[in-house]
Amino acid sequence: MGGVMRHHWLLLGACGWVLLILMFVSKFITFKAVDDYGERVGGQSWTVPGTKMIRPVPVSSLQKTAPKPSDQVIRDITVVSQSSAVPPVTGWQSEVERRSDILSSVCKNSSLRNLTHVSISKFVLDRIFVCDKRKILFCQTPKVGNTQWKKVLIVLNGAFPTVEEIPENLVHDHEKNGLPRLSSLKPQEITHRLSTYFKFFIVRDPFERLISAFKDKFVKNPRFEPWYKHDIAPAIIRKYRKSHRDNELSASGLHFEDFVRYLGDADGRHRMDRQFGEHIIHWVTYAELCAPCEIHYNVVGHHETLEQDAPHILKAAGIDQLVSYPAIPPGITRYNRTKVERYFSGISQRDIRRLYARYMGDFSLFGYPGPDFLLN
């Protein structure tokens, strides 16, 4: 009997040692997890499922050791910034500064000067809307969600209490929406606002913006803008479609291929644009619209990261407690490479290269990778 009891106690002692060892190992693993990833399992995380969390590197270390980025590095960083794994709003200032550094670097590139530098003309000043009440300037870049930002400024000017209450037909009625343009002011007033007000505008992938402009103006063709279908489209078809009949110009509709040829023909386009007047702003380059190399903008937001840029802009301008940006429909800001490939599938590489040559300044200024996937 004594032998059985002794065996029983030895077995209990061994189990106790095993439990102690397991507790020690699990504690060690837990501490390692905290040290490696910055937080315990189950804590709040800003990463997207399936992505790796990377420990942040101090800014001071980057400034001391990072070499000047090559074009390829800039392209790679841009692809990352367009993905869903983006920093939280509270840390978005570093992304804004990175974009500003790229823009500044490209503006200094003499080989791109013809594509990036424009004078601050009346055309540019006409694009910039003024909110004197909150000392804000907003440069309009069509087909990049400008309607919503106009609503924000209209609310700030006191015409409506919320963006949801603003009638859609009022937003673009520049006689009634209460948004003055910078061009309406005296030269000294313009200079003062450009040097002291908070300034921003929004961009998106240049080719995707062109597709949006084509669809909106020549496919959907709003009834209140008949000149796109009846004036501009026939003029482009007549000049750039190899085979057409004059009596069928309006009925046949503008093809995307015609549109691309028109945009890529520098000399012919300049002559035609004088006939089209202000209607051409929907496909004018960002550089021509907002003069970012001549005007120092506080923030250049990207349509692809609008969920982060919108709250950042409101906070940076000091208006986040006064107005909210309208709700963004899920997926609407995501870059759609499949759509771009589909639209350009029937376009010759010669025409794509000519188109890219015109918009290369926009791709470079705002860190968008060139359309190599369309040319290779």
Q: Which residues pair with 299 in a beta bridge?
A: 200
Task: Give the integer Cα–Cα distance in Å for 96 and 298.
Answer: 9
CA angle 293, 126, 333 (to 5 degrees): 70
Lowest mean pLDDT: which of 84-93, 147-156, 159-168, 299-308?
84-93
| Beta partners for residue 137, in sequence order | 130, 199
Please give the Cα distance from 153 to 175 (Å, whole number): 15
> Tokens 């060690």 sit at which residue?
28
Under the phi-then-psi rule, with left for phi > 0, alpha for psi from -120 to 50, and beta for the rest, what region is 160? beta
Sheet holding 198-203, edge to edge: 128-131, 136-139, 198-203, 299-302
Amino acid at 233: A
d(CA 298, CA 357): 28
Looking at residue 168, what is its pLDDT? Answer: 85
Cα 279 to Cα 225: distance, rounded to the nearest angstrom: 10
- Rounded to whole angstroms, how far apart are CA atoms 246 and 237? 9
Task: Please give the backbone phi and psi of residue 260, each rounded to the nearest 5 degrees, phi first.
Answer: -65, -40
What's the whole-model pTM score? 0.74
For residue 261, give the nearest of 374, 362, 357, 354 by alpha carbon.
354
On average, the pLDDT of the chain sits at 79
For 72-121, what is each residue's pLDDT tens digit? 333 332 333 333 334 455 579 999 999 999 999 999 999 999 999 999 99
